[in-house]
Chains A and B, each alone.
Chain A
């Protein structure tokens, strides 16, 4: 049963309703929660592809190129592009669309920019809900572009079915390849700007990395792209499709869904509990405890216990 008017209109293909629902969900309005309730059972059909990598590695250009590849084959595409919020002004410049201008006029593509608003994992807190809405709106594939990611911005792996990690030439030595973090979440590795002379050595380092770290049942491919010349994009598309088939045939997709469901449940419940504790105790207790911790009179763990006890 679809109870809300906007969700109803969204399901009928109304793009205005879609954009408003996204705003409700992004801003955590009560309407947004009702609309998500209506839409959740209609989601779960889209393939969700995460695209991550360092600042300036060509994420937006590659995302745009991959979207075009899907459009050539008749698939509809949702894109969620995340950019950082300034820790000082809390404002943000959302500039990823610049690299996807030609897609703006295509009715088969819907691009939404999001600011991180203080979230640290490379996405915004509401990104996963925004993906759900685009999925319910019938997009065949949703591409999620993270903020410029270094080593630890790995939330994308909990949101996407297929995670593409972009590398670029000249960004560190082979020590980087054995550190923990972002390379480990890759289902597909890409060396973008592969026309650069140093690309070959990155390519080799990544091979050393994948030889050491094998995913069971899936060999992480390493692809070369030059995104702004659209080189290597068909191969990337094929690799994503191959991974998608692998997920469904091997049963990994079910595991991923359960893993994601558990994480969502726990993260949302955690937020709710915190909100309840804070609103039940009123702002004064929080201030009081903050003062006590800052003055080193009370340790933060004991303070948190008191906050939750109310």
Chain B
């Protein structure tokens, strides 16, 4: 009886801001939607996030950031993932991210950006739609 593959989502907070209430709410909501969610904790370097994604073989990574350093840190996470052969991971972001920056993040591969006031239902739906049906 091959089990249905459970999708693994990593919720991570890059950079120096220590506000992780939003990240925890998203983690819990995804858990309640049936995902296996690894929460990394705050103050993660891009290397730590990519390394966690590698060790956990993540399907999806959600980055939460409130410090304003997303244009600095998100590309570095993408680079570190590539270095590790993890370029098939689905990426989304959340936090305080100005509208003007979204196209740039989309180009990097962050197809979903969820700002303040986003509904967890929308996030769950987005992850379900975008999570890969990776063969193996």
Say which one of B1-9, B68-76, B93-101, B112-120 lies at the interface with A.
Answer: B1-9
Mask: chain B, 57-97; 1 = CB below 8 Å from A; 0 = not: 10000000000000000000000000011100000000000
In the complex, the answer to whether A95 meets B57 with C-beta atoms within 8 Å is no
Interface centre among A93, A97, A101 (most CB of B within 10 A): A93
In the complex, the answer to whether B40 meets A97 with C-beta atoms within 8 Å is yes
In the complex, the answer to whether B1 meets A278 with C-beta atoms within 8 Å is yes
Q: How many residues of A contact B (CB 8 A)?
A: 35
Kindly identify which residue among A19, A30, A86, A91 contacts B55, using a CB–CB cutoff of 8 Å: A19
- Given A19-B57, A91-B30, decide whether A98 and B39 contact each other with a Cβ distance below 8 A: yes
A110 to B51 CA separation, bound complex (whole angstroms) = 9
In chain B between 1 and 42, which residues have their CB closer than 8 angstroms to a CB of chain A?
1-3, 5-6, 27-28, 30-41
Kindly identify which residue among A19, A30, A86, A94 contacts B32, using a CB–CB cutoff of 8 Å: A86
Which residues in A have their C-beta under 8 angstroms from that of B27? 93
Dominant SS among interface residues on chain A:
mixed
- Given A15-B54, A20-B136, decide whether A94 and B33 contact each other with a Cβ distance below 8 A: no
In the complex, 8 of the A-B residue pairs with CB atoms within 8 angstroms, ordered by the A residue number, are A24-B136, A27-B5, A28-B1, A95-B38, A98-B41, A101-B41, A105-B51, A117-B3
Kindly identify which residue among B31, B48, B52 contacts A89, using a CB–CB cutoff of 8 Å: B31
Residues in A lying within 8 Å of B, measured CB to CB: 15-16, 19-20, 22-24, 27-31, 85-86, 89-95, 97-98, 101, 104-105, 110-113, 115, 117, 275, 278-279
- Given A89-B34, A98-B41, decide whether A27 and B3 contact each other with a Cβ distance below 8 A: yes
Kindly identify which residue among B2, B32, B84 contacts A16, using a CB–CB cutoff of 8 Å: B84
A27 to B5 CA separation, bound complex (whole angstroms) = 6
B106 at the interface (CB under 8 A from A): no
Interface centre among A16, A110, A113, A279 (most CB of B within 10 A): A113
